[in-house]
Structure 1
Amino acid sequence: MTSFNGLAPVGRAFLHHFTSRFWTKAVAALVLVLLADALFLRPQGFIAGSTLGLFAASLLAIVWLMRVPRPGSFDYALGIAALGLCFALFNDPGPLAAILLWSALALLVLRPTFRSPADARDLALKLGIFTLTMSLSPFRDLGLLRLASRRHRAQAIKLAPLILPVTAVLLFGLLFIWANPILEDFATSFDGGSLFAVLTIDRLILWAFTGMIVWSLLRASAIYLPKGADYEAEKVDGRIVRLFSVQSVLIALILCNAIFALQNGLDLTYLWAGETLPNGLTHAQYAHRGAYPLILTALLAGAFVLVALRRGAPSEHDVRIRALIYLWLAQNVFLVASAILRTLNYIEDYSLTFLRLSALIWMGLVAFGFVLIVARILMGKSGRWLINGNALAAVGVLYAMAFADLSGFIASYNVRHAGDVGGRGQTLDMPYLASLGPAALPAFDWFISRMRDAPQAVAAMQYRQTLHDELALKQQDWRSWTWAGQRLLASLPPLPAPRMWQAPQRNVP
């Protein structure tokens, strides 16, 4: 056992020496590009299904092998998260899972540059810079960036001795082909058209995009924050200190609490208690107009609180200001709750969409952020703690959404709350339901089985048949096949027949 433990570092060192070589990474990148070509390209163009999960797992394996992380490091947490996203892409590919996977892989290769894994701002900054500059990685390694700069322009002179031999080879080669029938037959037998038939625009785009992604991960450069960056010890301009003096903050909090009390009082009366609105205003109109502005108001209020109670501020330890801050934060939480209720009422009266569902999730995160602000004040935590807590909550929610069937949930909600089947909402928007894709098939089946109006049932059957054919066609091609699609197709019952609507019989005397 002791000898094995002693050999483990030697094995990692040897593996690192092999995988860190330039040509090893070049071969790995070439393998991944060819794998992408086989998985995503067909004569009709690009197509991707569960093959995206297979490619993601292959990319993760190669990146992990090239990184050779130390046991017990933060790399394992990123690796497990990335592996889960590979499964999400295999089950039902989506852009959210792909973006999160890219973020996890980028953080994995940038891990040695972190000041601390628990520094969300550091991670976000380096991830942003890396994403914006990843397209420059191939040019940097080819030396084109250095050759283009004035400082290294002299290196281009070193290429001058190659001009004469290359020109001579091309010139004499053409002359020999012209003069030698054997060489001429060999040259003319080469089918250049077939080469260009293979090198299509779609293939070149796929190769370039995949190569850029893979190469940037395998050849990630170190990115560091400027020295001296700190959350709590930043110098504040004197004018800002005067602007946020104890007197000004105290007066602002009193006025803001009064304004928020007025808004929350109106919401409590008309939104929560359901009192009749004046001037013929409907509850749907009242709900729709206020949701998004209230969230913006809450965000600005949160920013004001953070500045007013920053460490070292004159107002940080003032008892009156802290009491007004707690009151204002409570009002902001109630304000966000009212915005959520507004959105829920509007969805109940109309329908659920991706935008409205995303707004609800965002409002929930904003409310959680206010809870964290209160916790930060009570527990005396730093700004770094607050940012990390919000970042962890947002990433956790996004990670969970990558595995959720949001299209199926939206479709199911809309058909069950449609006015056609006795729900509170409007008439079912079938074009929007169909735009959700094959995930809406169970919702269409439920709607058709309960629909008594024949024309609408027939229209729903037509949409259902189109989505079913689209799903069946995708599942026939192994490149576009998905595990979720296969399970959905196997679970679909035969198309139910609509129950014909009949006019009520009148008794004729």
Structure 2
Amino acid sequence: MTDIPSIATASPQPGGDAPSLPAPNAWAEIALAGLATLATALFYGTPWGIALPAFLALVCGGALALNPPVAGGDARLGGIATLAAVLILLADAVTPLSLLLAIPAVAASLLALTCRWLPDLADRVRAVGAMLVRGPQLLLRDGRAAFAWWSAHGGRQAAVSGIGRWILPLGLGLIFCLLFTAANPVLRGWLDQLPVGDVDAGRVVFWMMALALLWPFLRIPAPAGNRAPKPISPDDWRQDPLLGLLLSPAAIVRALILFNALFALQSALDVYYLWTGHALPPGITHATYAHQGAYPLILTALLAALFVLVALERRPVPRAVHGLIIAWIAQNILLVLSAMLRLATYVEAYSLTLLRLAAFIWMGLVAAGLVLILARMALGRPNRWLVGANLCSLVLTLYVVGWVNVPALIAEYNVSHCLEMAGGGPALDWEYLGRLGPQTIPALDRYTALPANDDLAGAAELRRELAQRFLSTHTDWRSWTLRDQRLKDYLAAHPDGIDHGGQP
């Protein structure tokens, strides 16, 4: 495997130092980790109250300790008074309005106390906005700078490179693990038996978000001034030294080996429990197994496809990487098929809805996209071709779906598979069919024709209301459609006492 070049952006001087690269602030990084952990403990899954102003006061204290205030006189007094005013407001009540006032005010006060903004009002507004929304970008930028600084010190180059090659496999692998445990109650049960079984995916995501949001408050950015932005070449990201480390052949191979192993475990469980119908562990039904997995697995497949596209852009792609990517895409296709089977099992237990039908279509598009990635690799086409092929697939699918009478399709399926009609499955939610509109009337007629049906009167009344409203609102030739005409013809042949108002 080829070695990647040093990610240092400045040449170290004879002492091993690179004065053009600022040393990372270890205290800021420690404070960030501590505050993010405290924020997760205080606010995740709990209502916000007095803990919020207390936490913001702690953040302000840490920010001023790491960025000593230099404003004097009235500016310092005004900043402190503003902080006190908004913290008292939050202590009184945490409401959307108090949050809308307090969070920008805290950012503005810290900028004023540390003299990190320009005199112009528009520049100050932009500086406050940047502190509130540019956290992920600033954290990534400073993380890259820290990597560059550590890399510039020759004795640490090997260690930094070694760590860098594991960041992508372990980081994305952890995300896949969290998605799989959210999607698979069997895996979740296994995880609960481990000492780390109480890991909450939402809590981890909340902690990561807290890192990004808090960083600008601890490392308050200097004013940008009016410097013209540096032109960015479309190919710059491919030449980025940090990406060269994170996406080096060694890192990609390690990631693909780890990901293939994780996906193989998930696929093996799906084949055993879902495809072959083996009994699930006690307390887990097939409906529960299906419901928990359909949507997280699609998100997993999308992340996997994104990783493959990025990995393929860094040329040349070694033959071993090609083989691992093909194996992984094949596993992702199986994963999407399993997600579709999960959703079908759930629909069988709880009926079909518009959202679930849309999920089927979306899963089919994801599966087609994965197949197109294989075609792109086989044909040696660029990512632009892949985007165009997926766009064509999307347009063709939407065109075909446009010809389908979706409300009638959902209604026919639910009536045909309901408890009253088929002797199994869920009871028909005829009120939901009413919300889908008058195109469900033929299916409702099949339902109301059933003998000894307790819901017969309510469903029949809903049918009459739908038909009457349809006939009274579709009287103008300008609103005519072929689909509506077919329904009019059906209602004319099956009036059931409806007043047609002279309409055929």
TM-score scaled to structure 2, two decimals? 0.50
Whether the aligned pair in 2 keeps the contact of 1:365 and 1:393 (CA below 8 Å) is: yes
Amino acid at match of 1:429: D
Quick check: 2:376–2:382 contact (8 Å CA) kept in 1?
A: yes
1:87-122 alpha-carbon deviations (Å, 9 max, x no partner): xxxxxxxxxxxxxxxxxxxxxxxxxxxxxxxxxxxx
CA offsets, 1:65-107, max 9 Å, x none? xxxxxxxxxxxxxxxxxxxxxxxxxxxxxxxxxxxxxxxxxxx
- Is 1:364 paired with 2:387? no
Separation in 2, partners of 1:358, 1:323: 33
Q: Cα distance 1:233–1:424, how it changes in 2: closer, same or farther (>3 A)?
A: farther
Distance 2:439 2:294 in 1: 29
What amino acid is aligned across from residue 483 of structure 2 in structure 1?
A: A
Change in CA separation of 1:228 and 1:394 when aligned onto 2, cut-off 3 Å: farther
Match of 1:313 among 312, 315, 320: 315
Say whether 1:488 aligns with 2:484. Answer: no
* Equivalent in 260, 275, 285 of residue 272 of structure 1: 275
Gaps of 5+ in 1: 1-226, 498-509
* Structure 2 counterpart of 1:237, from 230, 237, 240: 240
What letter corresponds to residue 303 of structure 1 in structure 2? L
Match of 1:392 in 2: 392
CA distance in 1, matches of 2:352, 2:416: 11
Counterpart mapping for 1:307-456 below 5 A: 307-310=310-313, 312-314=314-316, 316=317, 318-449=318-449, 451-456=450-455
CA distance in 2 between counterparts of 1:246 and 1:234 reads 16
Structure 1 residues 445 and 403: CA distance shift in structure 2, 3 A: same
Does the CA-based 8 Å contact 1:376-1:386 persist in structure 2? yes
SS class of match (2:282) = helix
Residue by residue over 1:268-297, the C-alpha shift from the partner in whole angstroms, topping out at 9 and shown as x without a partner, is 011111111113211001000000000000
Corresponding residue to 1:281 among 280, 284, 296: 284
Tell me, yes or no, if the aligned pair for 1:412 and 1:443 is still in contact at 8 Å: yes
TM-score when scaled to structure 1?
0.50
Alpha-carbon distance in structure 2 between the residues aligned to 1:360 and 1:236: 39
- Partner residue of 1:248 out of 251, 259, 284: 251
> 1 or 2 for the larger relative contact order (CA 8 Å, sep ≥6)?
1
For residues 18-52 of structure 1, what are the alpha-carbon distances to aligned partners after superposition, in whole Å with 9 as ceiling and x for unaligned?
xxxxxxxxxxxxxxxxxxxxxxxxxxxxxxxxxxx
Structure 2 CA distance, aligned partners of 1:424 and 1:371? 36
Name 2:459's counterpart in structure 1.
Answer: 460
Distance 2:423 2:408 in 1: 18
Alignment match of 1:261 (pick from 261, 264, 279): 264
What is the DSSP-based 3-state SS (H/G/I as helix, E as strand, rest coil) of the residue aligned with 1:279?
A: coil
> How far is 1:473 from its partner?
0.4
**How far did 1:422 drift?**
1.9
After TM superposition, give the deviation of residue 479 of structure 1 in Å. 5.0
Contact 1:418–1:428 (8 Å) recurs in 2: yes
Matched, 1:296 2:307: no
Greater Rg over alpha carbons, structure: 1
Q: Within 1, Cα distance between the matches of 2:437 and 2:391? A: 31
Give me the CA root mean square deviation: 2.1
Rounded Cα–Cα distance in structure 2 between residues aligned with 1:433 and 1:465 = 13
State whether residues 448 and 496 of structure 1, in contact with CA within 8 Å, keep that contact through their aligned partners in structure 2.
no
**Could you report, residue by residue, the CA deviation over 1:110-163 in whole angstroms, capped at 9, with x for unpaired residues?**
xxxxxxxxxxxxxxxxxxxxxxxxxxxxxxxxxxxxxxxxxxxxxxxxxxxxxx
Secondary structure of the structure 1 residue equivalent to 2:454? helix
Separation in structure 1 between the aligned mates of residue 395 and residue 294 of structure 2, nearest angstrom: 24
Residues 1:361 and 1:484: Cα distance change in structure 2 (over 3 Å):
same
CA deviation digits over 1:185-219, x for unaligned, max 9?
Answer: xxxxxxxxxxxxxxxxxxxxxxxxxxxxxxxxxxx
Tell me how far 1:398 sits from its aligned partner. 1.1
Measured in 2, the distance between the counterparts of 1:278 and 1:424 equals 23
Residues 307-333 of structure 1, C-alpha deviations (whole Å, 9 max, x = no match): 1111x435x1x1221111111111000
Q: Distance in 2 between matches of 1:464 and 1:480?
A: 22
After TM superposition, where is structure 1 displaced by more than 3 Å over at least 4 residues in a row? 227-230, 232-236, 477-483
Three-state SS of the structure 1 residue aligned to 2:381 is coil
**1:303-356 Cα shifts (integer Å, max 9, x gaps):** 11111111x435x1x122111111111100000000000011111111111110
What amino acid maps onto 2:315 in structure 1?
Answer: A
Match of 2:62 in 1: none
Aligned pairs, number: 266
Alignment partners' CA distance in 2, 1:283 and 1:496: 41
Q: Aligned equivalents of 1:483 and 1:335: distance in 2? A: 40
Instruction: Call closer, same or farther: CA 1:233–1:381 in 2, change over 3 Å.
Output: farther
Partner SS, residue 371 of structure 1: helix
Matches of 2:442 and 2:416, distance apart in 1: 12
